[in-house]
Amino acid sequence: MTAEVAVSDEAGGKVLRASGRLDVAAAARAWTATIRAAADAPVVVLDLSDLEALDSAGAVLLLTAAPDAKVEGAAPQIAPVLERTRAALAAAPPAPPVSRRFLPITAVGRATVQRLRGALARVAFLGESVVIVLRTLRHPRLLRWADLMRHLDEVGTRAFGLTALLGFLIGVILAFQSAIPLRRFGAEIFVPNLVGIALLRELGPLLAGVVLAGRTGSAFAAELGTMTVNEEVDALRVMGIDPASMLVLPRLIAATLAMPVLAMLMSLAGLAGMTVIMAGFGFPWAAVSVQLQQWLTLQDLAGGLFKAGCFGAVIAGIGCRAGLTAGRGPRAVGDAATAAVVGGIVAIVVMDGIFAVLFYRLGI
């Protein structure tokens, strides 16, 4: 028999009658009408004499519509379900509504304090890293060489294919795009100069940095974040092993050493791509080579590689910090990886701007 729930006005007050099998499906059907019918005045009697079965959803419906009513005619299998649900609801009062007054101001204040704390923690992490690096320079045996080699392989050699492919394609694209305006002036021969300088000074280090942030910074954050969530980092601390020297240092050094190589590879692959396009335009390899030799200086290359090393250190540092400061719960690792990639890319672009001003001032 399907369930029926009806509210009627009688001499003594409102009466709620339920019959049939009041299960979750029946409760869902009857909910809105029953609650509305019981809203204006309290139900005084809950007549359950025709009720055959009741589940907890049905009980919640009856108790929401008629919280204080006198129960009449409940069968032996019905009464315990109703009473258990009544006790459970009493043990779980609805949460008080959150006061929304001054909430925007509170939010701004909280965010400001949080940012300041974050900035302070970054400075502290930077200081800690510098101390560890200096200490390792004095005592090289502190460095875990096996870890360093593993990270060099992961950060460097395993990224060669991707970096070379991207570099080649960027070279091709730059050559094509710059050839279009230069052709108007019959100056296509200067395409190698433009692409060469752009790659060696700027795009090589910057794009290698983006590759490193996406590929390695996120991996560092995820790996260290998982270790943090699993309390492995705490275990290290309790063993008297500094997580910064064991986990951060090898990664920091590996990224700093690998980045100039990746930037160099990116630039060389880009130049190769550009040369292919120039050959397509009818310029022999020798002409491209002469242009590059005449216009590119060792300073361009050295400046680019120096920047690349700095980018590597910053990306690794941001990735490791994001991992070590990961919160708890399943979202923490994902948040750490996102913070590492976003933070890393923003940081290298900002640093690149600073380097541009610095190199300009120094006349490099």
Partner 1 sequence: MAPDSGTAAPAAGAGTSAEPVIRVEDVAVRFGARTIFKGVTFEVRRGEIFVILGGSGCGKSTLLKTLIGLVPMAAGRAWLLGEELAATKGADRRALLRRLGVMWQSGALFGSMTLAQNVELPLEEHTDLPRPAREALARSKLGLVGLGDAAGRLPAEISGGMAKRAGIARAMALDPPLLFLDEPSAGLDPITSAGLDALIKDIARDTGATFVVVTHELQSILAIGDRCIMLDKDAQGMIAEGDPRRLREDSDNRTVRAFFRREAI
The contact set with partner 1 (CB under 8 A) reads 2, 21-29, 31-32, 35, 52-61, 64, 77, 80-81, 84-85, 87-95, 327-331
Nearer to partner 1, 49 or 293 (CB): 49
Shortest separation between residue 139's beta carbon and partner 1, angstroms: 39
Q: Which two tokens stand for residue 351?
A: 């640093």
CB of 6 to partner 1, least distance (A): 18
| Integer Cα distance of 153 and 142 in angstroms | 20
> What is the nearest approach in angstroms of partner 1 to the Cβ of residue 80?
5
Phi/psi at 325 (5° precision): -100, 15
With beta carbons less than 8 A apart as the criterion, state whether 207 and 268 touch. no
Cβ 16 to partner 1 shortest distance, Å: 16
Least distance in Å: CB of 41 to partner 1? 19
- To partner 1, the closest distance from the beta carbon of 277 in angstroms equals 49
Q: DSSP assignment of 79-148, as one string?
A: HHHHHHHHHHHHHSPPPPPPP-TTHHHHHHHHHHHHHHHHHHHHHHHHHHHHHHHHHHHH-GGGS-HHHH
| Closer to partner 1 by Cβ: residue 25 or 272 | 25
Q: 102: which 2 tokens?
A: 């001054």
Nearer to partner 1, 21 or 122 (CB): 21
Q: What are the residues facing 227 on neighbouring strands?
A: none
Measured CA to CA in angstroms, residue 333 lies from 111, 209, 218, 228, 251 at distances of 21, 22, 10, 9, 18
CB count within 10 Å of CB 29 equals 13
Q: Shortest gap between Cβ of 73 and partner 1 (angstroms)? A: 15
Q: Which of 132, 144, 122 is nearest to 321 (CA)?
A: 122
Question: Smaller CB distance to partner 1: residue 317 or 323?
Answer: 323
For partner 1, which is the closer residue by CB, 31 or 306?
Answer: 31
Which CB sits closer to partner 1, 266 or 324?
A: 324
User: Which of 282, 330 has the CB closer to partner 1?
Assistant: 330
How far does CA 61 lie from the centroid of its chain? Answer: 42
> What number of other Cβ atoms are within 10 A of residue 208's Cβ?
30
Q: Which of 122, 128, 158 is nearest to 347 (CA)?
A: 122
